[in-house]
Structure 1
Amino acid sequence: MAVALPKNFSEVRHHLQEPLIRNSFFIMASSLVAAGFGFFFWMIAARLYSQADVGIATALMSSMGLLILISRLGLDQSVIRFFPSRDKNRVLGTALLVPTAVALGAGLIFIAAVDVISPELTIVKTVAPLYLAFLGTYSITWVFEGAFNALRKSEHYFTLNLLYGSRILFLPPLIFLGAMGIFSAYGLSFVLGLILSLFLLSRCSVRPALCVDRVFLREAWQFSAGAYIAGILMSAPNMVIPIMVLHVLGAESTASYYITYAIVSILFMIPYAFTTSLFVEGSHGGEMKRSVFRTLASMFALLIPAIIGLSLFGEQILNLIGKDYVEGMALLRVLAFSAIFVSVCQTFISIAKVRNDLRSLIVISSFVSVALLGLGFTLMHLFGLIGMGYAWLITYVLGTILVVLILKRKGWI
């Protein structure tokens, strides 16, 4: 005889099976897996390599991330926005070919001008072919990650992040390369990710067309342009800050900042997961007001306990990586608390994307970018590394206030 499920259990199960929550779960699980592997990656790297090597490697990786960000042209966001209504193969092929070509061109310029842009990274000239190969692979896998989310197949995104954990295995055999050993371990995981992504996409009956869909480019450009500018403004500080810390405070402080930020990024992944899923559901025509409230409620239910836990046990976590990194504990606590305000800003950005409110999107992203970099540079000179934490908190508190003012002016609240 069948056993009736309690009503409340059935409602919970139904809630978890809804696309918004289900995809949020897998995106968040992917982020947590990435953070977990990232923790062990940096813990092992810190024990096998010198702190200076870790600092140089993180700056190299940040430079590559910045080039990827610049080359997106907003097309990674357009994949999510236009997948439901256009030929997926042509959209994906266009979103791969155009940005990757731009990324490689930007990479060549960076290598040629590195003596002027960042003299501390002149090592990139000696490994230019490898740097460009990893850059191209990173560019392609970045688009594939967005495609899995757009397909509502975030479980494949989760699988991909599991594979990225393989970078840990490359650290010991590459130790003789110093900073380039860490960088190569990072890049090789993207090569494996590219192979797996092609296989998983084929199972979804998606095969990127090796062509540029000019009609799609024209239709997507208005949306892509705004999303591109906003994406650069919001993400560029994450790529620029390690290079800025290297310039202001040196390689050791850069390593300390990067390790601390990598740990706190576990918290930032919670709003990223839920707001990405909110954007996907809004693009598929989901009811926005209800989705926004459910997103905020679910997000804070996880975020607040996580902030408390990380603040209490952060010192032990840093100590596991290395005694030299415990000095980042004050920075960790400030960054952790700022996650509350980061989540509000990220939610607003997803709302603005769905509503195609490009003006508000650019206003909030411009404010965050300029304030974070400007305050970070100033406060690091005054207070050292903790100054970067103060910059994060002040920027996102003011950003949250700006979000509330915009929402009131538009009558959305």
Structure 2
Amino acid sequence: MQFLKNRFCLLDHLLNPLIMNSFFILLSSVSNAGFGFIFWMIAAKTYPQEDVGVATAAISSMAVLILLSRFGLDQSIIRFCPSGDKSKIISTSSIVVILFTTLIGIIFILGIEFWAPELGIIKKSAAVYILFLVANSMTNLTGIFFIALRRTKYYLLQNLLIGTRIIFVLPLISFGVWGIYYSVGISFIIAFIFSGYALSKLGFKQVSIDTNFLNESFEYSKGNYIVSLLTLVPSNLLPIMVLNILGAENAAYYYIDYAITSFLFMIPTAFSTSIFVEGSYGEPLKKSCLKSLLSVFLLLIPLVIFFYYFGDLALETIEKSYTQGFETLKYMVVSSLFYAINQMYFSLKRVKNDINKLIFLSGFTCASIIGFSYIFMQMYGLVGLGYSWSISYILSTIIIGIFLKKEYDII
């Protein structure tokens, strides 16, 4: 009887909405990363190197513009959907994001000779670029809707449809650089059409702007917008720093180390997002946080141990020379354990609408990673980057511990 009771307790734990939604989000991230790897592997083997380079830059430019045009609304959607008019929130956010994505896209194209002269080719197909940009932006936004609505299975389906880019990349090879770009754009249009259909089936058909939601969420959105920008600075700036200080080969080693570490980062990110959703619906934060931390560490610790001791084998499967980044990888994967604690705290503070501490923490971590990386790279070489990631997240975790000691009633 005790055995059966334990089995049912485990089943109940696994079927808990928090755990299920976390795993759907995690599966979405993993599938997206997996399809992305396959896509670029096919492109690299079949398209000229110059075409791959230009297409990568064009697709990256979309990611930057989407980040700039979102204004933190993605976090506000999750936070305010449970207590607000979901139809109005979804409609308002969509209209605002479409308008600003289009505007920022036009500004980017008009000044492309200044922003990114190597992407001047985009001007020849400006309308297509804007179309794909809007489809990409709205697909990302509707993905946030599905998460906020606790319909993460739709979020997974959406990401699987984005993976259809691997189907188009070979048939469109005759288009050169545009073949790669069209493959990505078409997949986002397919995913966006599915997203619109799914939302309509869920009963969301209203088109209007709710100024009350915009006013209520303005400060919250603005703060999260700053946090998002600060969080992304290290990942975008460090490859350039490594290239300039240590050279192209070390930049390649670091890129692979960071890609593996990012995979580990997906685990706490998925669970912390689910905590944010559940907390916004009024679920007990302490219970949700403990469940998530347990699940995260159960998944993370074996992976950290594997990459810490056998990461050289993983790097060797890519290319033997990449094992030179093994020491760096060891310290970077260790940082994922402290990153997990950071992400959980971020979710708690987002539920509590205490964004100022998140701005401080993200700013501290950003400055710490960049500052230590610059110093340690010149002192220790590539492994200095591993030191900087671990030390920065350990220090951030210590600060969080100090905050929690003062705010024992946060959960």
TM bracket (short chain):
0.7 to 0.9
CA contact (8 A) 1:80 1:280 kept: yes
Moved more, 330-339 or 270-279: 330-339
Deviations 1:99-131 (A, max 9, x none): 232223223333344444445555544554333
Tell me how far 1:178 sits from its aligned partner. Answer: 5.3
- SS of match in other structure, 1:173: coil
After TM superposition, list the pairs within 5 Å mapping 1:13-412 onto structure 2: 13-49=11-47, 54-176=52-174, 180-207=178-205, 209-241=206-238, 257-311=254-308, 314-315=311-312, 317-318=314-315, 321=318, 328-376=325-373, 388-412=385-409
Taking the aligned partners of 1:135 and 1:23, their CA distance within structure 2 comes to: 28
Q: In structure 2, give the amino acid aligned to 1:138.
A: N
- Give the share of equivalent positions with the same residue, in percent: 44
Structure 1 residues 267-324: Cα deviation after superposition (integer angstroms, max 9, x where no partner): 1110011000000010000111122122111111101112233445555555555667
- Describe the SS at the equivalent of 2:171: helix
Q: Distance in 1 between matches of 2:128 and 2:320?
A: 33
The number of residues matched between the two structures is 410
Secondary structure in structure 2 of the residue aligned to 1:85:
coil
AA paired with 1:158?
L
Q: 1:344 offset after TM fit, Å?
A: 1.4
TM superposition shift of 1:83: 1.3
Q: Deviations over 1:316-373 (max 9, x none)?
A: 5555556676655454444322211211111111011011112111111121233334
Q: Structure 1 residues 334, 127: closer, same or farther in 2, change over 3 A? A: farther
Structure 1 gap segments, 5+ residues each:
none
Q: Distance in 1 between matches of 2:175 and 2:311?
A: 31
Distance of aligned partners of 1:121 and 1:311 in 2 relative to their CA distance in 1, 3 Å threshold: farther
Cα distance in 1 for partners of 2:324, 2:118 equals 24
Superposed CA offset, 1:146-185 (max 9, x none): 1111111111111112222212222323445555544443
| Distance in structure 2 (CA, Å) of the matches to 1:319 and 1:51 | 23
Would the aligned equivalents of 2:83 and 2:281 in 1 still touch at CA under 8 Å? Answer: no
Shift of the 293–330 alpha-carbon distance from structure 1 to 2, 3 Å rule, reads same
Work out the CA distance in 2 between the residues paired with 1:17 and 1:139.
32
RMSD of equivalent CA atoms: 3.2
Task: Report the Cα offset of residue 217 of structure 1.
Answer: 0.7
Change in CA separation of 1:236 and 1:383 when aligned onto 2, cut-off 3 Å:
same
TM-score by length of 1: 0.86
Structure 1 residues 127, 371: closer, same or farther in 2, change over 3 A?
A: farther
Cα distance in structure 1, aligned partners of 2:324 and 2:128: 34
- 2:352 maps to a residue whose letter is R
AA aligned opposite 1:361: L
Q: Which amino acid aligns with 2:144?
A: G
Change (3 A) 1:11 1:42: same
Single out whichever of 244-253 and 118-127 deviates more from structure 2. Answer: 244-253
For 2:133, the aligned partner's letter is L
User: Residue 353 of structure 2: SS of its match in structure 1?
Assistant: coil
Give the distance between the partners of 2:49 and 2:173, measured in 1 at CA: 13
More contact order relative to length (CA 8 Å, sep ≥ 6): 1
Q: Which residue of 2 aligns with 1:8?
A: 6
Alignment CA distance shift 1:5-1:305 (3 Å): closer
Amino acid at match of 1:201: L
**TM-score, normalised relative to structure 2:** 0.87
Q: Output the CA distance in 2 between the equivalents of 1:52 and 1:395.
A: 36
Partner Cα distance (1:380, 1:62) in 2:
26
> 1: CA distance between counterparts of 2:324 and 2:177?
22
Determine helix, strand or coil for the equivalent of 1:411: coil
8 Å contact kept, 2:77–2:89: yes
Paired with 2:189 and 2:135, the residues of 1 have a C-alpha distance of 6
Question: Structure 1: how far apart are the matches of 2:119 and 2:250?
Answer: 16
Residues 38-94 of structure 1 show CA distances to partners (whole Å, capped at 9, x for unaligned) of: 332333334334666555544433332222112111211111111112221211111
1:59/1:242 contact within 8 Å kept: no
Provide the rounded CA distance (Å) in 1 between the counterparts of 2:337 and 2:294: 12
Distance 1:367 1:352, change over 3 A: same
